[in-house]
Amino acid sequence: MVFKPEQSRHPSTVPLIAVPARKPCGAERSEHQHYAIHVDATEFWSICSTNGLVLSHEQIDQFERYVSDLLYWNERVNLISRRDTDSVWLRHILHCVAIAFTGELPKSGRVLDIGTGGGLPGIPLKIINPKFDITLLDSIAKKVQTVSMLASHITKHGLQAVRERAEELPNHPKLRGPYDLVVSRATAPLVDLMKWAHPILRSGGRILTLKGGSLEEEIRQAQNKFRDAVITVIDLKVRGCEWFEQEEKKLVRVTWPQNGTEGRQPADE
């Protein structure tokens, strides 16, 4: 399994999938300015391979089971936007997996997904890297019950769903960390995510959060609150899929100096 955007050392052995001729992923807009999507499981596999992430047949089977479960239960529990159900492979699965294309993911470690909703990005990250020990966190009981069931269909180890508020984690003996990585997808303003994550991150740990659009003001507020934090915005560019650039999708990385906890304290209110 390859997690960095580089070619396989043995390209002749990579199970690339032949994809019929198509228009570029995300190249069309409907009359409602919503991108027409052209991604299914086969094309998802091909795009991942093109970007250096070679998935096994078992992993694709896991993704297909997860997508099937997600769409089925989304009719009963609000896990993802109903308007996205026809484009779930792009707007949800590939969007989450694109984190791996940046080379920002560790090879293993304890991961917390804050505001997981339907298990995103935590479950896709677990599928592409089984070495992760991932906690899926949400405050809504119905979502947590459903996501716990979806997670159990993927693996019995290293993937759990928990109902709790993120700000309460430092007081929870089993959930207060330390974590190597905190991930999130458009859950909260960056300053709030940093406030919740910084007490429970391991020294040298990081936040990776998926966001879109203009982030200048959001980053300014976060930097004013956490003056020693290093905040980096990475434009998501996926070979074979223009949608990420069209939608201005970004990955925000947050780290703190590895000089003890003093440099990680927020500024006074």
151-175 per-position pLDDT tens digit: 999 999 999 999 999 999 999 999 9
Number of domains within the chain = 1
Q: Indicate whether 55 belongs to any domain.
A: yes
User: Closest Cα to residue 127, out of 175, 159, 149, 102?
Assistant: 159
The number of beta carbons lying within 10 Å of the beta carbon of residue 157 is 8
Q: Indicate whether 259 belongs to any domain.
A: yes
For the full predicted model, state whether its pTM sits above 0.75: yes
User: Closest Cα to residue 43, out of 66, 69, 24, 70?
Assistant: 24
Please tell me whether the peptide bond between 178 and the residue prior to it is cis, using omega within 30 degrees of 0. yes
User: Closest Cα to residue 3, out of 46, 50, 52, 49?
Assistant: 52
Q: What is the pLDDT of residues 83-131, one digit of tens each?
A: 899 999 999 999 999 999 999 999 999 999 999 999 999 999 999 999 9
Structural domain for 65, as ranges: 15-264
Q: Indicate whether 227 belongs to any domain.
A: yes
Q: What is the CATH number of the domain that holds 235?
A: 3.40.50.150
